Amino acid sequence: MGNALHIQDIHKTYNTGFIPKSRKILKGISLAVEEGRIFGYLGPNGAGKTTTIKCILGLIFPDQGAIDIFGRGHLSPSAREKVGFLPENPYFYDYLTAEEFLSFCAGLFALDRAVARKRIASLLRLVGLEKAAGVPLRKFSRGMLQRTGLAQALINDPDLVILDEPLGGLDPLGRKDIRDIIVRFREEGKTVFLSSHILQDIEMICDRVAVILDGRIISEGALRDLIPEKILFTEVTVSGVDPAELAAFGESLSAGGGQTLLKVYGRDKVDLVLELVRSRRGRIDSLIPRTGTLEDTFVEMVRRG
């Protein structure tokens, strides 16, 4: 399987201010996104995520470097027609309905009208807006507008879908719906390039992640390689034992109803808790080792710089 997207050593500098001063935004970005994968692109605000995406899409031009989409130059029409894009803050025509807006987008790709009608109905159903198809966009909530933006990104049935903060403005149920849709893309063989600051969602759905900081990729790899498997602590839920006795072995997170939830550091301390529970004829209701998360890894990388 080849690469859907290949970026090689791209640099980008902006001149800003009344008296122009050069500011280098991208400082040699290189990465490869394999076909049929969900690739997460992480970084703090101002790190260069959106600038990278704009370069990929040809909205701005890098000072140097090369970008290929499915083996073709990113500016070639044959490459661009395979791409769908959802910007971080999409802007729509307020007085169009969702159906009219998607029809307009279909016209930009010169889709046959019958094909467009069928695809629009399917996409509105996919993003949960079929009942709002005839409602003007000015009456949509931010979450509904985000769903509309996702639908327009798919109107040309792209092989590569680029999503810039697609989960922003969505409630927990909406985020789950969009995550499920993104996972479905992978099942259909599509490739997703996903920029997001919601690390929990990235961790749940991405196959591979790159972390950008100050215009440079500081880490890239499969999630299983980036997140350490070392056990940080163990959460133990105990019944039938005095919480005061348990406090000597860990941090009490909650107590009530005869149960105590304890955060225990170190395997030896866990063994001591088990011995105490047995001696007091209590019960272990749960014992859950907690390993590092993507958020822990990301924060550590950013702090190290």
Residues 6+ away with beta carbon under 8 Å from 73 = 66, 67, 79
Strand 3-16 relative to strand 21-34, pairing: antiparallel
Crossing angle of helices 98-108 and 113-126, rounded to 10°: 130
Q: Is residue 9 part of a domain?
A: yes
CATH of the domain at 282: 3.30.70
226, 250, 285 — which closes off a domain?
A: 226
Residues 122 and 215 placed together within one structural domain of the fold: yes
Q: Do 35 and 138 have their domain in common?
A: yes
**How far apart are the C-alpha atoms of 249 and 265, rounded to whole Å?**
8
What pLDDT is stored for residue 131 in this prediction?
93
Q: Please report which helix (H) or strand (E) contains residue 159, including its range.
A: none
109 lies in the same domain as 235: no
145 with 12, same domain? yes
How much of the chain, in percent, has pLDDT values that exceed 90?
Answer: 44
The pLDDT value given to residue 45: 81
- How far, in Å, are 152, 184, 243 from residue 271 at the CA level? 56, 43, 17
Is the CB of residue 265 less than 8 Å from the CB of residue 9? no
Both tokens of 182, joined, read: 């993104």
Three-class SS state of 68: strand
Whether the CB-CB separation of 291 and 231 falls below 8 Å is answered with yes
Domain that holds residue 135: 3-226
Q: What is the pLDDT of residue 138?
A: 93
> What are the residue ranges in the chain where pLDDT is below 70?
1, 169, 226-230, 292-298, 300-305
Residue with tokens 């849709």: 181
Closest CA to 63 of 194, 215, 218, 165: 215
How many domains does the chain contain in total?
2
What CA–CA distance (Å, rounded) separates 174 from 182? 12
Same domain, 101 and 241: no
In a domain, 303, yes or no: no
CB within 8 A of 253, min separation 6: which ones? 235, 261, 262, 263
Whether 123 and 213 share a structural domain: yes
**CATH code, domain carrying 129:** 3.40.50.300
pLDDT in the model for residue 16:
78
Instruction: Please indicate, yes or no, whether residues 220 and 252 belong to a single structural domain of this protein.
Output: no
Q: Are residues 203 and 243 in the same domain?
A: no
- Pair 250, 188 in one domain: no
Same domain membership, residue 243 and residue 186: no
pLDDT attached to residue 202: 80
DSSP label at residue 136: B
Picking from 198, 226, 254, the residue at the C-terminal end of a domain is 226
Based on the domain organization, do 208 and 172 belong to the same domain?
yes
pLDDT number for residue 288 = 84
Residue 274 counted as domain residue: yes
Q: Is residue 304 part of a domain?
A: no
| Amino acid letter, residue 27 | K
